[in-house]
């Protein structure tokens, strides 16, 4: 397993729309392992392939404290979403140190394949629903801060640039 480099907002590569995985093979299974290790090491609870500059429709999620319940979504597709909306404070490995409230569907159903090529239908609510929608946004070339006001986006970019300058000065 290898740790992958996570792209940071506003890197333009984060706006690349991911292509469907054509074949679930050893290359994709290795990508899943590397993404999971990268997510756990970061530490985070979700990671989309777009965030590690691989523009294929692959997501890993693990909400467990023990980091032992890895959910793999290959070519995920939301097949149903509730009209009910929930607000959740979100963070992102590509936008370190920034947490903002985002509104999303409270419940969803997602069809996807696992790393063995088995189709799965996942019904999600709460944090899992938020996480899946957040990661699927990455596959569509979107970052959660883009759901915020222009003013908040500008403040976040300024804060991240300052963090980058301070890190470079050390």
Residues of each annotated binding site: 92, 134, 138
Q: What are phi and psi of 29, to 5 degrees?
A: -60, -35
Label the pairing between strands 95-105 and 85-92: antiparallel
Q: Which residues are annotated as a binding site for Fe cation?
A: 92, 134, 138
The tokens describing 75, both together, are 């070519």
Give just the sign of the alpha carbon dihedral 101, 142, 140, 44: negative
State the Cα–Cα distance between residues 156 and 7, nearest whole angstrom: 16
**Rg of the Cα trace of the chain?**
16
Q: Are 14 and 143 in contact (CB under 8 A)?
A: yes
Supply the residues annotated as catalytic: 135
């Amino acid at each position: 397993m290898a740790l992958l480099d996570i792209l940071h907002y506003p890197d333009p590569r984060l706006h690349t729309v991911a292509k469907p995985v054509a074949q679930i093979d050893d290359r994709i299974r290795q990508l899943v392992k590397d993404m999971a290790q990268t997510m756990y090491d970061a530490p985070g609870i979700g990671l989309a392939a777009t965030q590690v500059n691989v523009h294929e429709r692959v997501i890993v999620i693990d909400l467990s404290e023990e980091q032992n319940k890895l959910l793999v979504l290959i070519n995920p597709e939301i097949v149903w979403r509730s009209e009910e909306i929930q607000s959740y404070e979100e963070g992102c490995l590509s936008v370190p140190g920034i947490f903002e409230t985002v509104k999303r569907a409270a419940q969803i159903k997602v069809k996807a394949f696992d790393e063995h090529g088995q189709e799965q239908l996942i019904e999600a609510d709460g944090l899992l629903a938020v996480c899946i929608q957040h990661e699927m946004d990455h596959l569509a070339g979107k970052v959660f801060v883009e759901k915020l006001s222009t003013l908040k986006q500008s403040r976040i970019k300024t804060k991240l640039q300052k963090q980058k300058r301070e890190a470079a000065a050390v």
